[in-house]
Amino acid sequence: MSFPTLNLKLSQRHFDEMVKSGSFLHEASSPEMEEVRRKLFAIVSMYDPIARSNASGPGVYDMKVGLALYQVLGEAGMDIRTAADDGWWRYLSLRVLPDLVKNRWDSAPPVRYWKGRSRIWLRALWWTVHLTWQGTEENTRKVLESVTTDTVVQLVERPGKGGFRIDLTRLIFRMRLLRKPSQDQFRAIMKLNTAQIVLKEPVFCEGGLFGYVDALFADVGCAPIGINSDHD
């Protein structure tokens, strides 16, 4: 199936019209897009405002939507090239699922729909799941259980000079589950990785990729754990 895009100018115009009218309703488009919407809402519901009073509410909801989005778009045949196209995420946010985004972000900040890049909500959720994927939805859900909005920012906004290093980020999040760093420690780990990846090739470090990631956690004060280094 095709994955339509929306440029910045049209995105801003459409978003401004929705804000002015106070109506964030989706537009009936192709049968394929309607099917994507139907399948997604068969898995997730609109964000419940009552959950705002629950500290874990938004994070839990975000990951549920992310996993559902990853499944539905995968079944629709979306590839990495499409996932890297911001125009597609603008289209999905503004034309197909604006009501879903509005329910989650009641004040309707434009960065969650189209403005900028890494903070487009649906884009950030999909990439968070992709970059932390552990082979199955169940295993991925485990590494995402304690993920916060800040954690997503640390991941999605730090692609590195050569783009995302998918094997590396997946291992970092697997290690995060095992070693349970504080939010401040994990932020430091991501910053350290961003700085070091410019100078080092992880697979050539002592212990390979696993050794590189293990050292990141050790360098910020995370205690070592007894785990099997056979991590493949």
Is the pLDDT confidence value at 106 over 50?
yes
Give per-residue burial for 181-199: e unless 16+ CB within 10 Å, then b: beeebbbbbbeebeeebee
Predicted pLDDT at 232:
42
Distance CA 131, CA 100 (A): 23
What is the percent of the chain with per-residue pLDDT over 70, rounded to a whole number? 88
CB atoms within 10 A of CB 134: 17
Q: Output Rg (C-alpha) for the chain, integer angstroms.
A: 19
pLDDT, tens digit, for every residue of 50-64?
Answer: 655 555 567 888 999
Per DSSP, the residues of 94-106 read IIISHHHHHHHST
> DSSP 3-state assignment of 217?
helix
pLDDT, tens digit, for every residue of 196-222?
Answer: 888 889 999 999 999 999 999 999 998
